[in-house]
Amino acid sequence: MAHINAGKPAPKEILENIPQLIALYYTQKPDTTEATQKVAFGTSGHRGSSLKNSFNEDHIFAITQALCEYRKKVGIKGTLFIGKDTHALSTPAQMSALQVCVANGVQCKIARDDEYTPTPVVSFTILESNKNGTHKNDGVVITPSHNPPSDGGFKYNPPNGGPADSDVTSIIEKRANEILSDGLKAVKKVSYAEAIESALVVEEDFITPYVQSLSKIINIQAIKDSGLKIGVDPLGGSGIAVYKKIKEIYALDMDIVNENVDPTFSFMSCDHDGKIRMDCSSPFAMTSLVALKDKYDIAFGNDPDFDRHGIVTPSAGLMNPNHYLSVAIWYLSAHREAWSSALNIGKTLVSSSMIDRVVSSLGKEVMEVPVGFKWFVDGLYDGSLAFGGEESAGASFLRLDGSVWSTDKDGIILNLLAAEITATLKKDPGLIYQEFEEKFGRAYYARIDVPSTPKEKAILKNLSAEDVTSSTLAGEEIIGKFTRASGNNAAIGGLKVSTENGWFAARPSGTEDIYKIYAESFISAAHLENIQNEAKEIVQNAIA
């Protein structure tokens, strides 16, 4: 049941007290005996809030010192590109990081004029700089993605441009917590005034080179020639300057319907739970843009660091991310002539099987991987993976010539691709997905959360396929039981069970006392509900 405020303008009483949020960042000290106050790198870096003592200056000092030590240990001597989004804690965190980087002799580049930098622009910049550089360069993106305004985040991208794998983040996390526990004695730092005046900190225009190169991955000319009327809502995020530059360079008929940058994100409509969350895949958070769907041929939005996309069409309103991924993969496979026919398509194991049906019809192979975009990095980097996408509206793909563009999620190119699709085929992606349903069947997809103890979550994370004793699921024979992903044999950290017309996957939450059940049916909504109910029984029996 959605909250009473879901989809409605955020009431003033729920807006964050930004001065308090920033004051606590500097004044509160984490208690390292409390697990919730330690550094913890999830699938997208360390995230937390100064209100909960989980994202404070001490955390950033410790993480940055650990990162500087890691870079030295593995021989990364080039520039560290640092980007930030529009969350209130992002600028203080960037200031703290620069103090430590300069003291450790690390060359840093930040956006000029204290601007913001989207995640995909950092990934693109790392890769471009490493094409001809003497030393390898890497980067940091300071963002908690679409999380509420009170949150902060700190993510490391190594020289391959993508989100760091756990073999890297575990080293940084462990060392950062050691530094915290020892009272920051190992932290080298200078004052911010000294850091920002240092020759080691250089301001750079990250946006223009990225935008100028967009014609190498998107058929911008087709969009321009079509005369499409485009609407875009950056949701107060880090890429407003990107869209302004796109209009300037390519002269597209594109309205930026909201240019506000406000750390309270007061212009947002509330998400499903009544909170402010800049989730461009949520119909509640995207209410204001969906209301304009008939005004534009295609419209789209992004989360604050622009690694996610939200596609709004006249035919479908806000498209389900799974639906749009299916359309994008289908279109790219037919309209990228320079791509090798042998390229694989990457999807996470909790993404819709509609993707599998579409890809199979194209005579191509799906590479199914665990949750986390990091699993696509190597394939995108070496050009063996045409496309990598997640059910949570994150994806990237190769350039027109089949070479790497970004190895992190890029919501900007996925949005522009929706415009290219509409311009080229004279129909929007929502209509194309309707044709998929007629051809491949209708997919009923949902995710539910089930309360669980830490002990049960630990058991679920380490299940084997033999722990599942059931032979049927919702009236169909089980044809697959997986605890390792079929595409790369990596551990799922949970379980996936499939039948001919349905499947479910169960994974423990890393932050809450729940596990998540993703499920899909190609039969009916009632069949989906049966899958969900039996999935809970199967999981409970396996972890009992």
Q: Which residues are catalytic?
A: 145
> Cβ distance 510 to 46 under 8 Å?
no
CA distances from 491 to 64, 349, 487 (A): 29, 11, 11
- The rounded radius of gyration (Å) of the Cα atoms in the chain is 23
CA distances from 268 to 145, 149, 158, 188, 306 (A): 15, 11, 33, 40, 16
Give the three-state DSSP class for 201: strand
10 Å Cβ neighbour count for 500? 11
Q: What angle do CA 201, 205, 207 make, to 5 degrees?
A: 135
Quick one: angle between helices 90-103 and 18-27, nearest 10?
Answer: 30
CA of residue 324 relative to chain centroid, distance: 15
Q: Which residues pair with 269 in a beta bridge?
A: 9
Dihedral (CA of 249, 230, 437, 482) sign: positive
Give 3-state DSSP helix, strand, coil % of the chain, rounded to 5. Answer: 40, 20, 40
Dihedral (CA of 407, 343, 490, 454) sign: positive
Give the three-state DSSP class for 314: coil
